[in-house]
A and B are shown apart, each in its own frame.
Chain A
């Protein structure tokens, strides 16, 4: 393992998240077993008050996960100098088999936490808290995922060994080591472009349709969640395949992370922030939809769902516009017209 501040910080953050969720597990079980909204007993009152703690905790976990994803990528970028053949974050993440899984797990936990918070939001606006049991059962499911994500991350960091000169002996010790894939594999640009604009357009259309229906249709809500998931995947593929090339103005540099660097004016944030927000909103719309039929939620879910659809539509539109603007300004020509 490399003993380094950012790594310690990341492990600390993971430990805190795991601790928060594990500590809440007994309470979640308690709620599932004993929750009784009709009761006026003091125990019920205490349980209700605890729910505030857990929604605050989960918000904290969500915020921490988001910050950790950024720090993780940042740090991978910076550490690339320590590994022979690693030119940027992609290389660092490829140092061992746990790098990309760790990143993906973090992103997954982020989206799942966002979906949980969406369910929590609608539930806490209904006067009878109809989803309390479901919510805390989901929380119990989220805990092992978080633990797994922390474990993968730990394995990744433990497996890192910098290729450095030991005891002042210059040597070519790393000569035999396989070169790290410094580039992520990427689709050819033309189909990737079709996919990119096609799926973003579809996601925007579905979100607009769902919003237009006042967030009411369950088909449109599920379609929005699916379109968001696909939109996220293809947008990342598109960034890998051609958007990054235009930003770097280099026909072979496929890297989704370098665009976050100051050298490229932090352009990546303009792409990723709306993309993540839109995807989280789209997935959340799907997450709350199964409960739309519950009496007390009938008046709450559609309005919230419509707001989510608006966020998703705007986010994806912004992503598409920004990517197009970046391509427009680039001096690189990938496709002959």
Chain B
């Protein structure tokens, strides 16, 4: 589904503190599979995630999405692709405080201009699917960590993306909640969504749900299972 070739990414380019976070990545991410990136912090896995997820552009190299080269696209179009095809689950959940669970979930759909009723129906459906329907009008800061994550998952799914990207999804969860999350992940995989996540949590990378684990270090791929 996504092919990366010769990807390099620099920060502070041209300055003294120039630093290459990614250094020659060639990788192909297959559709409808669960892939995990594993590595110590600073290994470049999150940076790689931002490039795959169209949040950032590579300094060098090519990104192909379904055969189309998207590496040189201006942000405006990357955003469009991101909105349509990717759903994000962040480590810190990144919900907007002061808004209700429902309002948070439908936020990614605002730029599409889809009718509000349609969005709310879809959001209710997603919440009910994750057994959170009773909390729909609660402000997100009143929710527990696990509940917040489930709201974030619903938000990632509101535009019905083909690919779900999760950055260290279990870092802020206890074992019980982490297991629950893996259960949800399995459900998403069963729906036929491609999933890409980063983690160094054994509970995640050693789980049966994850079909492919890629090891990273110093901005390079070093191993694959």
Contacts and interface: CB of A to CB of B under 8 A. Distances in A.
Contacts of B169: none
Contacts of A42: 10, 12-14, 59
B76 A124 contact: yes
B59 A41 contact: yes
Q: Is chain A's binding surface mostly helix, strand, loop or mixed?
A: loop
A38 interface: yes
A45 interface: yes
A272 interface: no
A33 interface: no
A337 interface: no
22 contacts: A37-B74, A38-B72, A40-B57, A40-B58, A40-B59, A40-B72, A41-B13, A41-B59, A42-B10, A42-B14, A43-B13, A43-B14, A45-B57, A45-B75, A48-B74, A48-B75, A49-B75, A127-B73, A127-B74, A127-B77, A128-B72, A129-B74
B60 interface: yes
Nearest to B11: A42
Interface in A7-24: none
Interface in A32-75: 37-43, 45, 48-49
Interface in B55-110: 57-61, 71-77
A233 to B, nearest CB: 38
A76 B118 CA distance: 52
Q: Is chain B's binding surface mostly helix, strand, loop or mixed?
A: loop
A40 B75 contact: no
A63 B202 CA distance: 58
Contacts of A49: 75
Contacts of B77: 127
A124 B74 CA distance: 9
Contacts of A39: 72
A40 B60 contact: yes
The residue among B12, B61, B72, B75 with the most chain A CB atoms within 10 A of its own CB is: B72
Contacts of B12: 42
A39 B60 CA distance: 8
Interface in A124-163: 124, 127-129
A42 B15 CA distance: 11
**Top 6 A-B residue pairs of the complex, sorted by shortest distance between their CB atoms:** A40-B59, A40-B57, A42-B13, A38-B72, A127-B77, A40-B58
Given A37-B72, A37-B74, A43-B13, 7 more contacts: A40-B71, A42-B10, A42-B14, A42-B59, A45-B75, A48-B74, A48-B75
A33 to B, nearest CB: 17
A207 B167 CA distance: 53
A115 to B, nearest CB: 22
B175 to A, nearest CB: 41
Contacts of B76: 124
A129 B76 CA distance: 11
A11 to B, nearest CB: 36
Contacts of B74: 37, 48, 127, 129
Nearest to B10: A42
Nearest to A42: B13
Contacts of B61: 40
A124 B77 CA distance: 10
B191 to A, nearest CB: 30
Contacts of B14: 42-43
Nearest to B77: A127
Nearest to B62: A40
The residue among A39, A40, A45, A124 with the most chain B CB atoms within 10 A of its own CB is: A40
Nearest to A38: B72
The residue among B58, B71, B76 with the most chain A CB atoms within 10 A of its own CB is: B76
A48 B59 CA distance: 15
Contacts of A124: 76
B104 to A, nearest CB: 26
Nearest to B80: A127
B61 to A, nearest CB: 8
B52 to A, nearest CB: 15
A192 B94 CA distance: 66
A129 B77 CA distance: 11
Nearest to A124: B76
Interface string B3-15: 0000000101110
Interface string B159-191: 000000000000000000000000000000000
A136 to B, nearest CB: 15
A41 B12 CA distance: 10
Contacts of B13: 41-43
